[in-house]
Structure 1
Amino acid sequence: MRILRKASGALAVTALLAVPTTSAFVSDDSRAVRVEGQFVPPTSPFDPSKPLTYDSKTVPVGAFISVAEQVDGRVDGAATSVRLSVSGLLPNRTYGAHVHSKPCGRTPDASGPHYQNVKDPHQPSTDPAYANRENEVWLDFRTDAQGRATAESSYDWDFRPGEAQSVVIHEHGTATKPGEAGMAGPRLACLTVPFS
């Protein structure tokens, strides 16, 4: 890991890994983190820091993912944005994607439930009062003819430390109706992200 001090006094921290690459930037009033890499299967030797595909037919081995978080500090709170970019996925297909509460693991369920700014006392959360795009980070996307896509969501709140740790790609777009709100089908792939 390298820590670079810029002339402005801000710190830039970069972890140098073949796959994935993680970088972070911190200053007095903002911070950012970005993780990127190519998907691998969760086989031996298992490395939870790499992007993992649990279904290589819909998220192929070697497909690329990048997730960036930007937090701008303000007097009255924080403004948080999360941006997801993918390439090498199936063309012209809709995927669901959400920030989850735990890091990726050998199995799809290891990443835990969706991160919620206000936690639903009943889990899994399917109540639209809690499972909605204002209270959770939804990054659903549709790939183009080359299998590329981007999605971005912004919020007026910040993640609680240690409670947002991954981005999971799901089988289809996210449902919004009572009893199924927040559901997007099986978990296809996961990227561990050290959200700040």
Structure 2
Amino acid sequence: MRAFSVCVTGVLALASLVSCSGQGTSEPTEDSGKIRHATAAVAFALDSPGAITHLPELVPAGATAKITSSSGGGRSTVTLEVSGLLADRHYGAHAHTKPCGLAATGSGPHFQHQKDPMSPSVDPAYANPQNEIWLDFTTDAQGRASATSTVDWEFTDEAHPASIVVHANHTATEPGKAGTAGDRAACVSVDF
């Protein structure tokens, strides 16, 4: 049985909400010709590749996320808002190259503006918050948090992320571990 999917603009709905990917839009601007917008509002489920929890002990089924993105004019900004997670806990979160899959690794590596020739990328020259979208957060006593990343480059039709992955830990920055943040706890597909 497939999960029921609903998209809501401007409101984070909770009833049977599973995935809202595919909400990318573009509009003309004076600066660069296009501004790309994306919005996804989801509730995580155990078996929905569009908004899946891989570790329900860290991201319970039914926890919610809202992702908004705007890219154009030489900049990109992505905001992640979550609720229903564990209280007072550190999480990592990054933009990834592929949509979510049922397997935790299905979302591919981190999306990088300048791609590291080595994989996995753990070199701080590439795995850093200026070259990737990092959205690390710490939840409050109610399990809510938000994070925003702004970078000085744009998503394009040829090069844009396809998901946001929530990780078990904040992101490491030291050489040999840069960009790592523990297990992939949950994933949201987003049409950036």
What is the TM-score with the length of structure 1 in the denominator? 0.82
Q: Whole-Å Cα distance in 1 between the matches of residues 97 and 69 of structure 2?
A: 15
Gaps of 5+ in 1: 1-11
Deviation at 1:48, TM superposition (A): 2.3
* Distance in 1 (alpha carbons) for counterparts of 2:126 and 2:166: 20
Alignment length, in residue pairs? 171
Structure with bigger RCO (C-alpha 8 Å, 6+ apart): 2
Please report how far the alpha carbon of residue 24 of structure 1 lies from its aligned counterpart in structure 2 after TM superposition: 4.0
Q: 1:163 Cα deviation (Å)?
A: 4.3
Q: Once the two structures are superposed, what CA deviation does each residue of 1:8-30 show, in whole Å capped at 9, x if it has no partner?
A: xxxx9xxxx95323434432112
Deviations 1:125-181 (A, max 9, x none): 000010011001100000000000000000111124354110000000000000000
**Structure 2: distance between partners of 1:162 and 1:79:** 14
Q: Provide the residue aligned with 1:40 in structure 2.
A: 45
Do the aligned partners of 2:130 and 2:152 also contact (CA within 8 Å) in 1? no
After TM superposition, list the pairs within 5 Å mapping 1:128-147 onto structure 2: 128-147=124-143
Partner residue in 2 for 1:8 = none
User: Does structure 1 residue 181 correspond to structure 2 residue 178?
Assistant: yes
**TM-score normalised by L of structure 2:** 0.84
Alpha-carbon RMSD across the aligned residues, in angstroms, is: 1.7
Distance 1:157 1:99 in 2: 14
Secondary structure of the residue that 2:116 maps to in structure 1? coil
C-alpha distance in 2, partners of 1:66/1:79? Answer: 20
CA contact (8 A) 1:53 1:190 kept: yes
* C-alpha distance in 2 between matches for 1:105 and 1:20: 13
2:13 matched residue in structure 1: none
> What amino acid sits opposite 1:138 in the alignment?
W
Q: Match for residue 88 of structure 2? A: 92
Is 1:70 aligned with 2:67?
no
SS of the residue corresponding to residue 152 of structure 1 reads strand
Shift of 1:72: 3.2
Percent identical residues:
46
Larger-gyration structure (1/2): 1
1:31 is the counterpart of 2:36: yes
C-alpha distance 173-25 of structure 1, shift in aligned 2 (>3 A): same
Contact 1:132–1:181 at 8 Å: present in 2 too? yes
CA contact (8 A) 1:60 1:89 kept: yes
Letter in 2 for 1:93: R
In the alignment, the residues of structure 1 paired with residue 106 and residue 19 of structure 2 have an alpha-carbon distance, to the nearest angstrom, of: 19
